[in-house]
Amino acid sequence: MLSVISFIVVLGILVFVHEFGHYITAKLVGIRVEEFALGFGPKIFSRKRGETLYSIRIIPLGGFCQMTGENPPDENMSEEERLSYEEARKEGRTFTQKSPLQRFAVILNGAMMNFLLAILIFALIFVLYGIAVDSMDTNIIGDVALGSPAAEAGLKIGDRIIDIEGQVIEKWGDISGITRDADGKALKITYIRNNREFTTTVVPRFEPAYGYAVIGIAPQTVREKVGVFQALRLGFLQTANLLWFTITAIVKMITGKLAVDVGGPVMIATMVNQATGLGLASLLNLTAVLSLNLGFFNLLPFPALDGGRLIFIIYEMLRGKPVDHEKESMVHIVGLVILMLLMVFILIRDIGRFLL
C-alpha cells in the first residue's frame, strides 16, 4: 500500500509541476485556462475558481492544462464552451491570438518546470545528505541501484554482507572480487539486517560501461555537509550531467550502439516500489530523475508532444504565418495514435518482464 501511495504521489508531483508550467505561463501572457486537471477519465473532484475548473480525475497517469482556443471551435462544443470561447476571443485571450513567442513560452515551460524540479530535488538531497568525499572499505552496503540484480534480490542500504557462496566477506574488495567474474551465475549471499541473518540469490549482470559483471551495490561513503547555494550549484550540475547522459544514450540507441530499453508505468511503479524500500534519499533521487526524463521526452520533436508543437511554432516564426490549424491538428492526432500504440507495446513488455 505504501508503494502504491508513493507511486501516485511521485507521478502526481511530476504531472502537477509540468502542467503548472503551462498554466502559470498561460496566465502570465493572458490566455484563458478552461481546466487544470490531474489525471484522465471521469472527475473524482472538481472545483471552479474564477474562470478555471480545477479537477482530479480517476486515472493518475497524466494531466492537462486546457487553454481556450487551443483547439478550434466545432459542432461538438457545448453551448457553455462556445460562449466561453467567444468571450475569450473578444478579449484577445485565446491561445491562437497570442504571439508565436508567447505560445512558445507556454508550451516550453512545462518541461522547464520539470528541469527546475530536478535541480531543486538534487539540491535538497545534497543539503540533507551532503556529498561523498571518500568510500569505506567495509562489507556494509551504502547504496543500491534501482532495477539492479541486488535491488531485485531484496538487498537494502545498511545490509552487512558476511558470506558469498561460502566465502567469508570482511571488506568491500571481497565482494567485487567475487561478483565481477560471475556474469549470469547465481550467487548465494548471506547478510545481516537488524541483527538477523538472511540469505538471498543474486545473479550478477555484465555492465559494458565497467567491462565486468556487477550486482548494483556501492560501499558506504564518508559524506561532507554543503551549504544551500553550493547544493543548488551541485543540483544544477547533476541535472545537466544526467540530461547529457540521456541524450547520448538516445543517440547510441538510434545508432545501434546501445540496446533499446524503455519502460512504462509498470517499470516506473516497480522502481518507485524499490526506492520506497531503500529510503527517502533513493525516492527523492528517483523523483528527480523521472522529472528530468519527463521534461526531456516531452521536448522531443514528435507530433502530439510539446516538442512537436514547438516545431510548428518555430516554422510559423520562420514562415511568417501559421500552419493551417486543421492540418496541424491532423498531424498531432496521428502522432497521438502512434504514441498510444507505443505505450501499449511498452506496457505489454513491462508486464511480461515483471511476470518473468
| Residues known to be catalytic | 19
User: Which set of grid coordinates corresponds to residue 30?
Assistant: 493572458
Q: Is residue 42 within 8 Å of residue 103, measured between CB atoms?
A: no
For 50, half-sphere exposure in the C-beta direction (CA atoms, 13 angstrom radius) is 7
Q: Are strands 141-144 and 217-219 parallel, antiparallel or unpaired?
A: antiparallel
Q: Is residue 133 within 8 Å of residue 48, measured between CB atoms?
A: no
What are the phi and psi torsion angles at 59 (to 5°)? -100, 105
**3-class secondary structure, 70:** coil
Query: What is the C-alpha to C-alpha distance for residues 216 and 151, in angstroms, rounded to an integer?
Result: 8
Beta strands in 126-263 (DSSP E): 131-135, 141-144, 160-164, 167-168, 187-193, 196-202, 205-207, 212-214, 217-219, 221-224
Expressed in angstroms, the distance from the first to the final Cα of the chain is: 23
User: Which set of grid coordinates corresponds to residue 94?
Assistant: 485565446
Q: 190: which strand partners?
A: 163, 199
Query: What is the C-alpha to C-alpha distance for residues 318 and 216, in angstroms, rounded to an integer?
Result: 49
For 207, half-sphere exposure in the C-beta direction (CA atoms, 13 angstrom radius) is 14
User: Which set of grid coordinates corresponds to residue 172?
Assistant: 568491500
Q: What is the DSSP letter of 92?
A: T
